[in-house]
Amino acid sequence: MKTISSDIVIDSIFKKKAQDNLESYYQFKELFEEVKIDNTYEEQVLISIIIPVYNEEKTIKFILEKLPKNNKIEVIVIDDNSNDNSLKEIKKAKFKSQLKIIKHSRNRGYGGALLSGIKKTKGKIIVTMDSDGQHRPEDLSNLISPILNQEADIVIGSRYKGSYDYKLPISTRLGEACLEKLIQIFFNRKISNNQSGFRAFNRKTLDLFENIKYLGYAFATEIILKASLNGFRIKEIPIKILKREYGVSKIILSKLFLSIISCLFIYFLKKIKKIFSKTV
């Protein structure tokens, strides 16, 4: 029986890894050029990508394998106590050894999962990304550029400024349009896609994630309101949202709307209190 030298096997593995990294480089060339701009971090992590997962066994492995591979980019995946095979699929990913995996023993909600990941980040820029396959890794470069260029502290990817490959329910569009107007009236911020999960944060905004009141999907709105009260610069950029191929949205619109309205009320009171304390 013919045996294969272990040296040949190891060499083959390293060649395959080099080929994968080369393919990743050409796919994300623009992003890697952006990464090279920041020489202050040298070999340290520049970008932390956080992906919360809850019952996304059909998409998560594909997403993880599509992400850029670079020693200045870390990927943190949070399995929020999925009851399908999401965790198994995460562990099957081609680049599993390059991932940080967090497993929740109980479901903590969308915001709770993100907070677990944020606590483990090392990057100068923190990116949040959904696990349902609708966000494109190719948009990462445009998402982080305003932070690298010191134009913004928080960047939100907006389907309304960009495009989306599916029919958006009228209730969703009307709800976001209503919230856009309320946030503009009471907080002087015009955010068209306030529930977008594709965002980038400068590390100096980390204090925003302390004492969060809403751990569900209203988390996304709370961060905007909290950032507004603290004077952080928020910018929306156009992204393309893909059609969801598997599963359905886990958002219950009526519950989300009530949570966001209560969030708006609480933070408006905080704003009034802040203004009053300055005048006294």
pLDDT band for 11, please (50, 70, 90 cuts). very low
Residue 235 has pLDDT above 50, yes or no: yes
Mapping DSSP to helix (H, G, I), strand (E, B) and coil, where does residue 196 land? coil
Nearest-angstrom CA–CA distance, 30 and 24: 11
Nearest-angstrom CA–CA distance, 257 and 175: 8
CA-based nearest residue to 34, from 139, 129, 117: 139
Look at residue 8 in the predicted model and tell me its pLDDT: 45
Q: Check: CB of residue 246 under 8 Å from CB of residue 59.
A: yes
Higher pLDDT, 53 or 72: 53
What mean pLDDT is predicted for residues 210-235? 96
Q: Taking the domains of the chain in order of start, what are their residue ranges?
A: 16-169+193-248
Residue that the structure tokens 């029919």 belong to: 167
Residue 38 has pLDDT above 50, yes or no: yes
Residue that the structure tokens 């990508």 belong to: 49
pLDDT band for 207, please (50, 70, 90 cuts). very high
Residue 37 has pLDDT above 70, yes or no: no
Look at residue 256 in the predicted model and tell me its pLDDT: 87
Residue 155 β-bridge partners: 200, 235
Q: Of the ranges 2-11, 45-54, 234-243, which one carries the lowest mean pLDDT score?
A: 2-11
pLDDT tens string 76-129: 999 999 999 999 999 999 887 789 999 999 999 999 999 999 999 999 999 999
Look at residue 168 in the predicted model and tell me its pLDDT: 82
- For the domain bounded by 16-169+193-248, which CATH number is listed? 3.90.550.10
Q: Taking all residues of the chain, what is their mean pLDDT, rounded to a whole number? A: 86
Nearest-angstrom CA–CA distance, 99 and 127: 15
Residue 143 phi/psi, 5-degree rounding, is -70, -40
